[in-house]
Amino acid sequence: MSHTFKGGVHPNYMKAPEIPISVITPPPQVIIPMTQHIGAPCKPLVQVGDYVKMGQKIGENPAPVSAPVHASVSGKVVAVEPRPHPLGDMIMSVVIENDYQDTPCEDLAPLTEEQLKDSEAILERIREAGVVGMGGAMFPTAFKIRGGIGKVDKLIINGAECEPYLNGDHLTMLNYPEQLLKGIELVRIASCVDKAYYGIEKNKQDAIDLLNSLHPEKYGIEIVPEEVKYPQGAEKMQVNAVTGREVKPGGIPSGVGCNVVSTRTCYAIYQACYEGKPVIERIVTVAGSALKAPVNGLTRVGTPFGYLAEQCGGFVKPPRKIVLGGPMMGICATSFDAPNIKGTAGVLFFTEEEDKHVEHPTCIRCGKCITVCPMNLEPVFMYMYYSKGDFENMAKYHITDCFECGSCAFNCPARMPLTHAFKTAKLMFQAKQMKEKAKAEAEAAAAAAKEAKQ
C-alpha cells in the first residue's frame, strides 16, 4: 500500500520532465527584492554606483526570522528603490546592471570536513546563504530547522511536487541525485536526527529508482513512494502520509515531531555547504498556453517575467494571467516587470484556455468539495456562512484550518470561488482578532489610568 492522505484531487498534470534543463541567459538588469522570505525585510547593504560580484550579499536583517539576499549577477548597482514585487505591491529592491562577467564572490568558502558534520556550522551557513523554503512558502530554513531541534524525531523531505506543470524537483532528482542526497544528509545532521524520510510521488518512478540505486541508506535516508494526488506536497499531508500523524489545528509540523523540507531547499543547502554558493538561481518551469512549449529553465533570481517569456520563445497568444508557482496554489503577478524570486518554482502564462470562469456561479450542493478536502472541512457550509458574514458558524466549521490548497474550488462543478472566499474570511478573522486585542488593551489602559487617578 502506498502512502497517502484522505481526500485530494487529480488535476491534469501537464508535466514535462522530459524537457532538459536549459540555461536562461541572465537579463541586462536584474531586480533583487529585499523581501524574498517570510519575516523581517532585508536592508540594502549597497548603494547606487557600487560594483557587486555574483553571490555577494546585498541585503540583510539581523532578526532571527529573516534571510539575506545575494546578487545573482556581477555588475554595477544602478538603483536602490521600490520596484514591483511578484507578490504585488512595490518593495525595496536592488537593481544591478549586468556586466555579463559573472565574477564570483569568494565570501562563502565551502565548508570543511568537520564543519559538514556540525549542526551549528551547517545552520549558520544555511542562514548566510539565504536559504528559504523553496517549495514556495519561503520560510527561512535555518530558523525552521533550529526550532525543530529536540522536538523533531521524524525529518521529512518533500519530493511530491504535486502541483501541475512544475518539473524543478523532478529534474533536480534526475540530474543531481548524489548532490541531492548529500544535501538531505546535511539537513538531517543539522536537525540532529538519525533518519530522513524522502516522500516522492510515484509519477516520478524513474527518480525513485535512480535515488534508490545510489544507496540512500548510506546517508540515513529512506525513500517513501507516495500515491499521486494533489495536495500530497502540502506540509500537513506529507506528515500525514509518511507518519500517519495529524498536525494540530493552527499548529506546525514540529508540534507532532516532524519537520518538512522541500527537495529544492535540500539541493540549495548542498550548494551552500559544499560549493559555497548562495541562493541565486533555481529551475523555473515556464509554461502555459500563451507559450509555444514549456521550458525548464535554470533562471537567476531577479529575472523579470517579461524578459523570461522572451527567452522562452515569446508569446504565441497574449497571456491573461501570470501565475507564480503551480496553478493550484499559485497567485497571480500583476506586472511583467516583476522579477522571479527564490520561491518561484514556476511562471505560467495562462490565456482564456485555462480559465474556466462562469458568469453566475451557483452552488448545486453536490458535496464534491467535502469529499476532496484534505483537512476534513465542509467547504459548502463554510462558503454559505461566509456569504452571510456569520463569523460564529464559520469558526464552528473550522474555517481557519483551511490552508487554501484549492482542491474544493478545483473540483467544484459550479465554479464557486471557494478558496477565494476562505482566504478572505481568514483575513477577516485576523483583522477581527487584532481589533479585539486592541480594544482589550485600550480598555485595560483606560482602567489603569482610572486607577492611577483615584
Binding residues (CB under 8 A) for another protein: these are 9, 11-12, 164, 236, 246-249, 251, 306, 309-310, 314-315, 318-323, 327-336, 348, 350, 354-356, 358-360, 362-368, 370-371, 374-378, 380-381, 398, 401, 404, 406, 409-415, 417, 419-420, 423
For residue 356, count other CB atoms closer than 10 A to its CB: 9
For residue 297, count other CB atoms closer than 10 A to its CB: 25
Q: How far is the CB of 138 from another protein (least distance, A)?
A: 16
Select 295 or 377, whichever has its Cβ closest to another protein.
377
C-alpha of 190 from chain center:
21
Select 177 or 417, whichever has its Cβ closest to another protein.
417
Select 12 or 454, whichever has its Cβ closest to another protein.
12
Q: How far is the CB of 387 from another protein (least distance, A)?
A: 13
Residue type, 437: K
Which residue, among 383, 375, 363, has the nearest Cα to 402 in the 3D structure?
A: 375
Select 59 or 374, whichever has its Cβ closest to another protein.
374
Q: How far is the CB of 238 from another protein (least distance, A)?
A: 14
Q: How far is the CB of 432 from another protein (least distance, A)?
A: 20
Rounded CA separation 394/390 (Å): 6
Q: How far is the CB of 152 from another protein (least distance, A)?
A: 17
Using H for helix, E for strand and C for coil, what is the string for 360-394? Answer: CCCCCCCCHHHHHCCCCCCHHHHHHHHHHCCHHHH
| Strands (E) located in 392-436 | none
3-state secondary structure (DSSP) of residue 72: coil
Q: How far is the CB of 83 from another protein (least distance, A)?
A: 16
- Half-sphere CA count of 446, side-chain side, radius 13 A: 6
Select 77 or 256, whichever has its Cβ closest to another protein.
256
Select 242 or 328, whichever has its Cβ closest to another protein.
328
Rounded CA separation 375/8 (Å): 9
Grid cell locating 368: 464534491
Rounded CA separation 229/95 (Å): 40
C-alpha of 132 from chain center:
8
Select 236 or 282, whichever has its Cβ closest to another protein.
236
* Whether 297 contacts 311, CB under 8 Å: yes
Q: How far is the CB of 195 from another protein (least distance, A)?
A: 24
